[in-house]
Amino acid sequence: MKKVIMGNHALSYGAMLSRSQVISAYPITPQTQVVELLSEMCADGTLDAQFIKVESEHSAMASCIGASVAGSRAFTATSSQGLALMHEMLHWAAGGRHPIVMGNINRSMAPGWSIWTDQNDSLSQRDTGWMQFYCASNQEVVDTVIQSFKVAEKLMIPAMVILDAFALSHTYEVVDVPDQALVDRYLPPFKPAIKLTPADPRAFGGLTGSEHYMELRYKLEKDMEKAPALIEETGREYEKLFGRNLGLVDPYLCDDAEFIFVTSGTAGYTARVAVDQLRASGLKAGNLRIKVFRPFPFDRVREVLAKTKKAAVVDRNCSYGAGGIFYQEVKSAVYGRPGMPPLFGYIAGLGGRDITVDSFKEVAADALAKDRADEEIVWIGVKK
């Protein structure tokens, strides 16, 4: 059924349609609407779930973990400072193999207080073992929440579904809200083989010596490595039921592109407009929007970039002392492989500063004027 909804509510619908059973969340701008709508859905019976109004994000994730290990499907949402506060528990959720799904609104890290968008909050968590899906439309948000529960529960690895603050979270778009009966066919109930129950009394997460820890982490990595294929497979299944494929990357006009932008989030859609305009003025441009960042989609990224002469990675984040994070990871994906184009790195849009079509044109002009990146990272739109 088609509805006009905001990005935050798309997360709520996704969680509701996925029949989340325990929702434990703490409010933070600009996530509040996610939990407010879920709260209403629980209150009026649309969603049969326990809603725990915890006193902090750290407790939100801890209680999601408790709920998950007790055998229920758990969901939460947060942003920025809240995500950072949960950091310890993000390691816990992934290491403990708890398939929780969380919506994260990409919001800049303080200080100074900023409620607007950039990606440092979620990217700072890239080593925790969570899958990360960066969305660029509200439709994608609803669909991805549903898909991520399926993938998470198959692999026993948690997933975060990520939206840009305000640019997506508060933007209203037409969304084809999936039919509950079809979602139930796609996503069966969560029935873990091992859970916290007196019928099968086990101790979870006890003291683990060096003779066991590494194998446990090896298992996590090996299961994470199954994720790209599983995401594509479940994406195709989704397309059969709902008409929309959900993959790892979203390439736009890359097949014959001489120059490709590598982007993520809503900037990935702005880039398409730039691509169209650049093509109109004679440059064969393309855009590779990376949707799934963890696990990193090495094969798909290499496949697309192999076709082009130059690529510019535009990061809405910065790992201080090492530059843009997508840039670093794309570089490592292509390193040493024959036929890969030279890469250029750009940082734009921190603290919610707009990334415009002109920003992309500036990026293209800069990259095309050089043979290789000399100044490693170029900052776009900054008064230097």
Partner 1 sequence: MSQEVKKEKKFTMTLPADELMACGHLACQGCGATLAMRTMLKALGQKTVLCIPACCWAVIDGPYPYSSMDVPIYHCAFETAASTATGVKAGLTVTGDTETTVVAWAGDGGTFDIGIQALSGAAERNEDIIYVCYDNEAYMNTGIQRSSATPYGAWTTTTPVKHFKTRPKKDIVAIMAAHRIPYIATASISHPEDFFKKMKKAKDIKGTRFFHVYAPCPTGWKSRPEDTIKLARMAVQNGYFPLYEIENGEKTTLNLKLKDRKPVDDYLRLQGRFRHLGAAEIAEVQSEVDARWERLLKGCAA
Partner 2 sequence: MRPKKAKKIVFKSAEEMPVMICSVGHQTHNLTGAWRNIRPEIDLGKCIKCGICWKFCPEPSIEVVDEWPVVDYDYCKGCGICAEECPAKCIVMVEERK
Q: Which of 46, 179, 188, 219 binds partner 2 (CB under 8 A)?
A: 219
Other CB atoms within 10 Å distance of the CB of residue 332? 11
Q: Residue 209 interacts with partner 2 (CB under 8 A)?
A: no
At its nearest, how many Å lie between partner 2 and the CB of residue 72? 15
DSSP state of 350: G
Contact call for residue 216 and partner 2 (CB under 8 A) = yes
Least distance to partner 1 from the beta carbon of 344, Å? 42
* 218 lies in the site for partner 2, by CB under 8 A: yes
As a whole number of angstroms, the distance between CA 248 and CA 218 comes to 23
Q: Interface with partner 2 includes 203 (CB under 8 A)?
A: yes
Query: What secondary structure letter does DSSP report for 342?
Result: P
Q: Report the SS3 class of residue 48.
A: coil
Q: Which does 111 bind (CB under 5 to 8 A by kind): partner 2, partner 1, none?
A: none
Q: Measured from the CB of residue 55, what is the shortest distance to partner 2 in angstroms?
A: 27
Which secondary-structure segment (H or E) carries 141?
A: helix 138-155
Q: Give the whole-angstrom CA distance, residue 373 versus residue 376.
A: 6
- Least Å distance between CB 345 and partner 2? 37
Rounded distance between C-alpha atoms, residue 348 and residue 363, angstroms: 10
Among 27, 71, 95, 247, contact with partner 2 (rule: CB under 8 A): 95
Got the DSSP string for 31-100? THHHHHHHHHHHHTTSS--EEE--SSHHHHHHHHHHHHHTT--EEEEEEHHHHHHTHHHHHHHHHTT---
Comparison of 189 and 205: residue with beta carbon closer to partner 2? 205
Q: What whole-number distance in Å separates Cα of residue 363 and Cα of residue 312?
A: 7
Structure-token pair, residue 46: 């649309």
The two structure tokens encoding residue 163: 């939206």
- 145, 11 contact by CB (below 8 A): yes
Nearer to partner 1, 99 or 352 (CB): 99
Using rule CB under 8 A, residue 96 touches partner 2: yes
Asked if 197 touches partner 2 (CB under 8 A), the answer is no
198 binds partner 2 per the rule CB under 8 A: no
* Contact between 318 and 351 (Cβ < 8 Å): no
Judged by CB under 8 A, how many residues of this single chain contact partner 2?
20
Partner from partner 2, partner 1, none binding residue 37, C-beta < 5-8 Å depending on class: none
Task: Write the binding mask 47 to 76 for partner 2: x where contact by CB under 8 A, - elsewhere.
Answer: ----------------------x-------
SS3 assignment, position 57: helix
Return the range that interacts with partner 2 (CB under 8 A); candidates 11-19, 162-170, 208-216, 313-321.
208-216
Handedness of CA 183, 17, 70, 26 (dihedral sign): positive
Helices 138-155 & 7-17, crossing angle to 10 degrees? 40
Please answer whether residues 352 and 309 qualify as being in contact, where contact means their C-beta atoms are separated by less than 8 angstroms.
no
In the list 37, 49, 156, 160, the residue contacting partner 2 (rule: CB under 8 A) is 156
Nearer to partner 1, 52 or 248 (CB): 52
Binding site for partner 1 (CB under 8 A): 21-22, 24, 48-50, 52-56, 58-59, 62-72, 74, 88-89, 92, 196-198, 200-209, 212
Question: Which residues contact partner 2 (rule: CB under 8 A)?
Answer: 69, 95-97, 156, 192, 194, 202-206, 208, 212, 215-216, 218-219, 222-223
